[in-house]
Amino acid sequence: MKKAIIIHDAIGEKAEKLSNELVKYLSNDYDVLKKSIAHINIEKLNDFDLIILGSANSNFKISQDGFINLYNSLTESDIDLSNKKLATFCPIDTKDLNFCETVDVIEKELKNMGLELANEGLKCDGDLNPQSKEEIKRWIKKVSSNKVEVKREGII
């Protein structure tokens, strides 16, 4: 069975709920592991076919720092993720001024590394109403079905 990992920051209840919902829908096609960004061993990322990075919408600075550390670790390593499916998500909280900026930053950095995203970032209601659950299902279907085209060798 294909393997997926959901890497989320350790803050934000809505990001945690959204991560759990993603696990539920991905489990039909993938053996799924969910991990906090604080506990990631980047050497193990090559074990996965799909890598999903999720950020909390609140505490933008803390989320950003965790993903900047991950990005720096990836650029300093010999890990080649060019043949992996990558995707991002963030629960929307329209009261928050940052409005999922971390997802945009993460996507930009992944593209700067020469990596391709399987789909645009998921930004949906973190309260998981019926509409957001349908949006998650559609997003998972696109992420799962899209093929990754290798644009260049490696990430360095």
What is the residue-level pLDDT of the chain in tens, covering all 156 positions?
999 999 987 666 777 888 899 999 999 899 999 998 888 888 899 999 999 998 876 555 555 677 778 878 888 888 888 888 899 998 876 665 556 777 787 888 888 877 888 888 898 877 788 998 999 999 999 998 866 554 434 333
What local confidence, expressed as pLDDT, does residue 30 receive? 94
What local confidence, expressed as pLDDT, does residue 150 receive? 42
- 4: helix, strand or coil: strand
Apex CA 85: angle with CA 83 and CA 24, to 5°? 145
What local confidence, expressed as pLDDT, does residue 62 receive? 52
- 35: which strand partners? 7
HSE-up (13 A, CA, CB side) for residue 123:
14
Torsions phi, psi for 95 (to 5 deg): -80, -15
Q: What is the 3-state secondary structure of 77-137?
A: CCCCCCCCEEEEEEEECCCCCCCCHHHHHHHHHHHHCCCCECCCCEEEECCCCHHHHHHHH
Apex CA 29: angle with CA 74 and CA 154, to 5°? 25
What local confidence, expressed as pLDDT, does residue 155 receive? 36
What local confidence, expressed as pLDDT, does residue 58 receive? 57
Q: DSSP letters along 24-88, please? A: HHHTTTEEEEEEEGGG--GGGGGG-SEEEEE--SSSHHHHHHHHHHHHHHHHHS----TTSEEEE
What local confidence, expressed as pLDDT, does residue 152 receive? 37
- Domains of the chain with CATH codes: 2-145 (3.40.50.360)
